[in-house]
Structure 1
Amino acid sequence: MNIRSIDLQVLIPHATEVSKIQHTANQQTASQQHDFASQWQKISQDRQQQVQTINQSEGGKIKEKKEAQDKRRDQGRTKEQAQRKDDRVQLPHAPQAFPDTSLGHTIDIKT
């Protein structure tokens, strides 16, 4: 392909304009990426300094599970407490198994 001298005279000024436009576009892209990165960094720092909240859906599941565990624990406690109350009531009325205080303090071991 042959380029005539007149065409070359027209193309050279346009080439410099095109290079300026291309340089500006590259600068703009780099600038946008830098701005985007700085925004994410700011968001990250803000999130690190804030107290994280639990979504209600997650909180409900955890709460239900915890309530079920507490309920089972309380039921177990009430049974134990009832038995303890029964034991307390019976102890004062029950006769002593070892009336002699010297009994139960020594252990005889036979070999």
Structure 2
Amino acid sequence: NIGFKSKELMECAGAQVEVIEKCSGHDGSWSAKSEFFPLSMLIAQKAVRVIEQAPADLVASDCPLAGLQLDQAGAMAHAGGRPTKHPIQIVRDAYGLSS
């Protein structure tokens, strides 16, 4: 493990970052299989509950598949409001480089 490089990158742009270490329940193609999808959502909802409690404006994941999984589980849990972004998107926006 080389640390939390995405956290360090976002902090360089002035963000205050709280790391939440919870499984998104995606695990590659596992959650895309119909027989495992319901279980993957249960796993992801554990992370969503922690995210919902965080006093954050943004949610980030450096894994695009995990981000999609969290967004989907969040929508199912009615979390809403904070779609998961990739850290580089957050840095881009922080520097006003949005298209």
State the TM bucket, normalised to the shorter chain: under 0.3
Structure (1/2) with the larger strand percentage: 2
Larger relative contact order (Cα-Cα within 8 Å, sequence gap ≥ 6) = 2
Structure (1/2) with the larger helix percentage: 1
Length-normalised TM-score, structure 1:
0.19
Structure with greater Cα Rg: 1
Length-normalised TM-score, structure 2:
0.21
